[in-house]
């Protein structure tokens, strides 16, 4: 069992070692939803996510026994950086196990904090197993990314900070992967304000906590961990320690899909100038999606858990978000390969006040007649009504579109 006293003790130990991240009111999201919406910006935390809280508390709590041997952790990204940074500050050697498919950006960030990096395992679960065996063989301390009481206690300091800054908060919406973050936040929040509702948000690509609640115990999901926009919460089995707390203290867990996540990332960036990774944006995605029955005027806190998003993935997320909002469209059209045909097409598009973002002119491809060429276009648009206007005008002009 973890108590509020434990979390307050962790807060004292972490004081001046981690950032007390801001809780920011959002007029934009409040107006959109009818609630009073606040953002807990853990994307501004050292290491770019909340993970340094639990890692630092774990290391400092066992510093005497850890000092001589070091620590081992397994992670897809954020936990790796949190442990590496916490270990460097404590002058402790750190070894991080990552799945072989971990992105180069996350590998470089982890090495940049001074950790030794080993790529082994086809999944996070396999990498955790490698790290645990290595720790047992070497006598080093293994720091689990989520299924550890002290990790959960450290993450719980977020809940303490939220209620200190906003004592009358009604809801806290929290991303859920392995469950350590929401378990810690729920422990603190419910102890301080029992009436508060703590809601977990999962990606529909990996609803491990939802399935665990249905089954009454943690279950292993057979899903692909990589490829989701919210890769930081693609955890196929919720932690045992976290699950016992989730069962008692978390009021509800809901899912959001890839399109909703992409739209939320885009909205945070455009409306608030906040860069959030996919996992960090899921609370906003859930709030905007509307399935949560939150009364008007409720004070709602969204935990923006991290901002460590790879540049290439960010480009994909933003493009997906723009398509989802009707602010971008893609189509192909076949043109007669004669002088002026492309200029005529682009003139029509310009007259419709659409902006060409990308264009690809393909000749000599299979399926095309010798005197025709295919043009692939990506346009910046004003919404779905504008896209329909473009489609109608081009068909009226005799073009046959293949919308994508």
**Superfamily of segment(s) 326-403:** ACT domain (3.30.70.260)
Mean confidence (pLDDT) of the chain: 93
Residues 355-372, mean pLDDT to the nearest whole number: 79
Residue 148's pLDDT is: 95
- When mean pLDDT is compared across 115-124, 203-212, 336-345, 358-367, the lowest value belongs to 358-367
b vs e for 34-62, b when ≥16 Cβ sit within 10 Å of the residue's Cβ?
ebbbbbbbbbbbbbbbbbbbbbbbbbbbe
Percent of the chain with pLDDT over 70: 99
Residue 133's pLDDT is: 96
Are 51-147 and 326-403 in the same CATH fold? no
Residues 259-282, mean pLDDT to the nearest whole number: 94
Residue 366's pLDDT is: 64
Architecture of domain 4-49+150-322: 3-Layer(aba) Sandwich (3.40)
Residues 131-149, mean pLDDT to the nearest whole number: 95
Residue 237's pLDDT is: 92
What's the burial of 371, exposed, middle or buried (CB within 10 Å: 0-12/13-18/19+)?
exposed
- When mean pLDDT is compared across 220-224, 251-255, 303-307, the lowest value belongs to 220-224
Residue 61's pLDDT is: 94
- When mean pLDDT is compared across 88-92, 124-128, 181-185, 213-217, the lowest value belongs to 124-128
Q: Is the pLDDT of residue 280 over 80?
A: yes
Residue 33's pLDDT is: 96
Residues 134-163, mean pLDDT to the nearest whole number: 96
Confidence of residue 4 (pLDDT cuts 50, 70, 90): very high
Residues 67-91, mean pLDDT to the nearest whole number: 92
Annotate the chain with three-state secondary structure. Answer: CCCHHHHHHHHHHHCCCCCCCCEEECHHHHHHHCCEEEEEEHHHCHHHECHHHHHHHHHHHCHHHHCCCCEEEECCCHHHHHHHHHHHHCCCCEEEEECCCCCHHHHHHHHHCCCEEEECCCCHHHHHHHHHHHHHHHCCEEECCCCCHHHHHHHCHHHHHHHHHCCCCCEEEEECCCCHHHHHHHHHHHHHCCCCEEEEEEECCCCHHHHHHHHCCCCCCCCCCCCCCCHHHCCCCCCHHHHHHHHHHCCEEEEECHHHHHHHHHHHHHHHCCCCCHHHHHHHHHHHHCCCCCCCCCEEEEEECECCCCHHHHHHHHHHHHHHCCCEEEEEEEEECCCCHHHHHHHHHHHCCCEEEEEEEECCCCCCCCCEEEEEEEEECCCHHHHHHHHHHHHHCCCCEEEC
- When mean pLDDT is compared across 22-31, 100-109, 233-242, 286-295, the lowest value belongs to 100-109
What is 51-147's CATH number?
Answer: 3.40.50.1100
* Domain residue ranges in the chain: 4-49+150-322, 51-147, 326-403
Residues 6+ apart with CB under 8 A from 3: 187, 191
* Pairing of β 299-304 and β 328-336: unpaired
Residue 364's pLDDT is: 66
pTM metric for this prediction = 0.88
- When mean pLDDT is compared across 11-20, 283-292, 335-344, the lowest value belongs to 335-344
Residue 372 CB-half CA count within 13 A: 13
Confidence of residue 310 (pLDDT cuts 50, 70, 90): confident
pLDDT, tens digit (0-9, with 9 covering 90-100), for 111-121: 999 999 999 99
Residues 14-24, mean pLDDT to the nearest whole number: 97
Residues 24-29, mean pLDDT to the nearest whole number: 97
Confidence of residue 374 (pLDDT cuts 50, 70, 90): confident
Confidence of residue 60 (pLDDT cuts 50, 70, 90): very high
- When mean pLDDT is compared across 4-8, 213-217, 304-308, 361-365, the lowest value belongs to 361-365
Residue 367's pLDDT is: 67
Percent of the chain with pLDDT over 90: 76
Structure tokens, 281: 């944006």
Residue 321's pLDDT is: 85
Q: Is the pLDDT of residue 123 over 90?
A: no
Residues 213-224, mean pLDDT to the nearest whole number: 92
Residues 289-316, mean pLDDT to the nearest whole number: 91
């Amino acid at each position: 069992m973890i108590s509020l006293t434990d979390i307050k003790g962790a807060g004292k130990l972490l004081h001046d070692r981690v950032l007390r991240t801001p809780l920011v009111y959002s007029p934009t999201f409040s107006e959109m939803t009818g609630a009073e919406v606040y953002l807990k910006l853990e994307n501004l935390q050292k290491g770019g996510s909340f993970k340094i809280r639990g890692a630092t508390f774990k290391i400092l709590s066992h510093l005497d026994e850890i000092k001589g041997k070091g620590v081992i952790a397994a992670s897809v990204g954020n936990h790796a950086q949190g442990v590496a940074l916490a270990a460097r500050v404590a002058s402790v050697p750190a070894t991080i196990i990552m799945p072989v498919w971990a992105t180069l950006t996350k590998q470089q960030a982890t090495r940049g904090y001074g950790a030794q990096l080993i790529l082994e395992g086809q999944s996070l679960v396999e990498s955790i197993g490698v790290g645990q065996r290595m720790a047992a063989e070497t006598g080093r301390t293994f720091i689990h990314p989520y299924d550890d009481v002290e990790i959960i206690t450290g993450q719980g300091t977020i809940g303490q900070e939220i209620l200190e800054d906003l004592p009358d908060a009604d809801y806290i919406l929290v991303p859920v992967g392995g469950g350590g973050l929401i378990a810690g936040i729920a422990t603190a929040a419910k102890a301080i304000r029992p009436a508060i509702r703590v809601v977990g948000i999962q990606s529909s690509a990996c609803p491990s906590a939802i399935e665990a609640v249905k089954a009454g115990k943690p279950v292993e999901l057979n899903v692909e961990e990589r490829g989701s926009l919210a890769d930081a919460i693609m955890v196929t089995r919720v932690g045992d320690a976290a699950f016992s707390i989730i069962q008692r203290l978390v009021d509800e867990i809901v899912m959001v899909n890839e399109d909703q996540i992409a739209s939320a990332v885009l909205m945070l960036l455009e409306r608030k100038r906040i860069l959030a990774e996919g996992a960090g944006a899921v609370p906003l995605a859930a709030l905007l999606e509307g399935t949560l029955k939150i009364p008007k005027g409720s004070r709602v806190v969204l935990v923006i858990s991290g901002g460590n998003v790879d540049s290439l993935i960010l480009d994909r997320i933003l493009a997906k978000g723009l398509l989802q909002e009707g602010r971008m469209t893609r189509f192909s059209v076949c043109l007669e390969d004669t002088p002026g045909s492309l200029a005529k097409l682009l003139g029509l598009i310009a007259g419709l006040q659409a902006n060409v973002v990308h264009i690809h002119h393909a000749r000599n491809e299979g399926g095309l007649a010798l005197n025709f060429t295919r043009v692939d276009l990506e346009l910046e648009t004003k919404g779905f009504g504008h896209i329909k206007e473009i489609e109608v005008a081009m068909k009226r002009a005799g073009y046959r579109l293949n919308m994508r």
